[in-house]
């Protein structure tokens, strides 16, 4: 068993295939807020999409992982906010059983040093001899512990989750390894069947090399010995060479397929991911979705558990930027929802037809973020298409306004409605700015995007004679 190394990666497959369907896509809120843009900036600077994928896969493997947030050192060239991930082998946390918030967290940073995250401060501790000592301390400026646990399979008994590599998966992997080992041993006999020489005596094997050229190993069995029949003449004693039938490999293959099927049921992974070919390939996208239905449902079942950690991470990033958030900021973040890529397999043609039908019936609006997310596009492509649509629509309507077109002079009703709509938004923008709203927030509330504002305050027109403001 020690010398027979079988690269049977079923436990790794149970983790990687599952984690490959868990793709985070940022956040959404009930109302438009610029705080999401701040989170997006930090995510881009800190490669958060890659860090989250690592944290999710580690949580699937060990039950939980942890993402720490801290202020960066500008003098050292760090970004404004640092985001780092640690597995359950290098970090842990203490959760409040009532609220689920992190009360304290511990992070290994190499050697005998650890970082202890507490409300309002972080302690760097070092172990010397048999005692722990505080080597450094700094304030975080918030009572939040800036640690977000990503948990897989959280239960009341195990709030920090459990691994996808269960004892059942391990035992099935061991069983499949033993099956391959037995098949490997049987293959030696399969390729070299045993020969039998009937009616042979010792003189046949006395000659040097007589049978070594044939098989090298022969069972010699006399046909009729003297003890069997003493009266039979020696001339009637005959010798014949036969072979024992070869051992079949089919039972081992059948057992391996059975174990692979059990593994697929225990891990919710289709059996073809385990190296076992199906009898027939799926004939359509619906057939493939049916095969992967258990995997998709299991992935979606873990999203609520990971959403808790993802919301914590978003709030930790904003807290690291601005300190404790006030009531207005928390109101803007009401309904903060982490978004995920659809774990289903979606055919490009069928999904495009579905979106086109929904746009035609009026259930979706063309070119919006919600509509583009339903298409099999990457987030970057969807965002670029959305921005191009906004620039094209805004420039076209603005050209009509500058040309002096109005409802009376324009014959194209749809274009006139676009001009009227833009005029209303510009009027609303001016009203909000004069009321004291910041220009960026006013443009967001008015539905105007990609506007550049000159620095300074709006200029108030004064009449030359009376000096009154208007």
State pLDDT tens for residues 74-109.
777 778 899 999 999 999 999 998 888 999 999 998
Instruction: State pTM to two decimals.
Output: 0.70
Across the range 219-232, mean pLDDT stands at 61
Percent of the chain clearing pLDDT 90 (strictly above): 31
Higher-confidence residue of 179 and 206: namely 179
Across the range 166-177, mean pLDDT stands at 91
Long-range contacts of 350-358 (CB under 8 A, 24+ apart): 350/285, 351/375, 351/376, 352/376
Across the range 408-422, mean pLDDT stands at 57
pLDDT at 129 over 70: yes
pLDDT at 308 over 90: yes
* Neighbouring-strand partners of residue 122: 117, 138
pLDDT of residue 434: 72
List Cβ neighbours of 86 (8 Å cut-off, separation of 6 or more): 65, 66, 67, 68, 107, 108
pLDDT at 378 over 50: yes
pLDDT at 470 over 50: no
pLDDT at 452 over 60: yes
The Cα 23–Cα 1 span in angstroms is: 39
The Cα 444–Cα 437 span in angstroms is: 11
Identify the band that residue 409 occupies on the pLDDT scale cut at 50, 70 and 90: very low
Identify the band that residue 59 occupies on the pLDDT scale cut at 50, 70 and 90: very high
Across the range 169-186, mean pLDDT stands at 87
pLDDT at 423 over 60: yes
pLDDT of residue 108: 93
Across the range 43-70, mean pLDDT stands at 94
Tell me the range of 129-138, 268-277, 358-367, 443-452 where mean pLDDT is highest. Answer: 129-138
pLDDT single digits (tens) 229-251: 667 666 555 566 666 666 777 88
Identify the band that residue 408 occupies on the pLDDT scale cut at 50, 70 and 90: very low
Average pLDDT of the chain is 79
Long-range contacts of 172-179 (CB under 8 A, 24+ apart): 172/10, 172/259, 172/262, 172/263, 172/266, 173/8, 173/10, 173/11, 173/263, 175/259, 176/8, 176/10, 176/256, 176/259, 176/260, 176/263, 177/6, 177/8, 179/252, 179/255, 179/256, 179/259
Measuring CA to CA, how many Å separate 312 from each of 53, 101, 115, 117, 432?
A: 16, 8, 19, 15, 33
pLDDT of residue 380: 75
pLDDT single digits (tens) 194-220: 677 666 666 656 656 555 544 455 555
Q: Find out whether 457 and 451 touch, Cβ atoms under 8 Å.
A: no
Percent of the chain clearing pLDDT 70 (strictly above): 74
pLDDT at 318 over 90: yes
Identify the band that residue 54 occupies on the pLDDT scale cut at 50, 70 and 90: very high
pLDDT of residue 316: 94
List Cβ neighbours of 436 (8 Å cut-off, separation of 6 or more): none
Higher-confidence residue of 453 and 344: namely 344
Across the range 442-446, mean pLDDT stands at 77
pLDDT of residue 67: 96
pLDDT of residue 213: 41
pLDDT at 367 over 70: yes
pLDDT at 424 over 80: no
pLDDT of residue 417: 65
């Amino acid at each position: 068993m020690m010398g027979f190394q079988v690269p049977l990666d079923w436990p790794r497959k149970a983790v990687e295939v599952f984690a490959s369907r868990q793709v985070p896509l940022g956040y959404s809120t009930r109302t438009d807020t610029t705080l999401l843009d701040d989170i997006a900036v930090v995510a881009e600077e800190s490669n958060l999409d890659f860090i989250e994928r690592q944290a999710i896969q580690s949580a699937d493997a060990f039950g939980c992982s942890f993402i720490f947030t801290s202020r960066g050192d500008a003098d050292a060239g760090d970004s404004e906010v640092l985001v780092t991930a640690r597995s359950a082998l290098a970090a842990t946390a203490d959760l409040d059983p009532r609220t689920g918030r992190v009360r304290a967290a511990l992070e290994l940073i190499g050697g005998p040093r650890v970082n202890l995250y507490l409300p309002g401060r972080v302690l760097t501790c070092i172990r010397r001899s048999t005692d722990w000592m505080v080597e450094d301390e700094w304030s975080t400026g918030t009572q939040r512990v800036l640690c977000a646990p990503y948990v897989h399979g959280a239960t009341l008994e195990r709030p920090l989750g459990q691994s996808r590599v269960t004892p059942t998966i391990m035992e099935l992997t061991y069983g499949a390894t033993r099956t391959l080992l037995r098949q490997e041993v049987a293959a030696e006999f399969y390729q070299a069947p045993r020969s039998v020489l009937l009616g042979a005596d010792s003189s046949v094997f006395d000659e040097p090399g007589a049978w070594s050229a044939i098989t090298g190993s022969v069972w010699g069995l006399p046909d009729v010995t003297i003890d069997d029949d003493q009266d039979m003449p020696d001339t009637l004693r005959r010798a014949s060479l036969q072979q024992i039938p070869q051992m079949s490999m089919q039972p081992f293959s059948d057992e391996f397929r059975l174990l692979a099927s059990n593994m697929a049921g225990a891990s919710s992974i289709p059996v073809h991911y385990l190296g076992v070919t199906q009898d027939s390939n799926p004939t359509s996208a619906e057939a493939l979705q049916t095969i992967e239905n258990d995997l998709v449902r299991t992935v979606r079942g873990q999203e609520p558990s990971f959403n808790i950690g993802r919301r914590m991470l978003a709030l930790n990033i904003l807290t690291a930027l601005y300190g404790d958030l006030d009531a207005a900021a928390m109101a803007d973040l009401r309904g903060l929802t982490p978004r995920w890529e659809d774990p289903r397999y979606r055919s490009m043609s069928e999904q495009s037809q579905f979106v086109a039908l929904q746009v035609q019936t009026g259930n979706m609006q063309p070119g919006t973020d919600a509509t583009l997310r339903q298409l099999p596009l990457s987030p970057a492509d969807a965002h670029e298409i959305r921005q191009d649509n906004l620039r094209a629509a805004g420039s076209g309507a603005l050209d009509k306004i500058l040309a002096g077109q109005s409802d009376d002079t324009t014959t194209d009703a749809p274009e006139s409605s676009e001009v009227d709509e833009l005029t209303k938004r510009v009027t609303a923008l001016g009203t909000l700015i004069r009321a004291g709203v910041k220009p960026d927030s006013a443009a967001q509330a008015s539905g105007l995007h990609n506007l550049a504002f000159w620095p300074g305050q709006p200029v108030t027109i004064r009449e030359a004679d009376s000096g009154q403001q208007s």
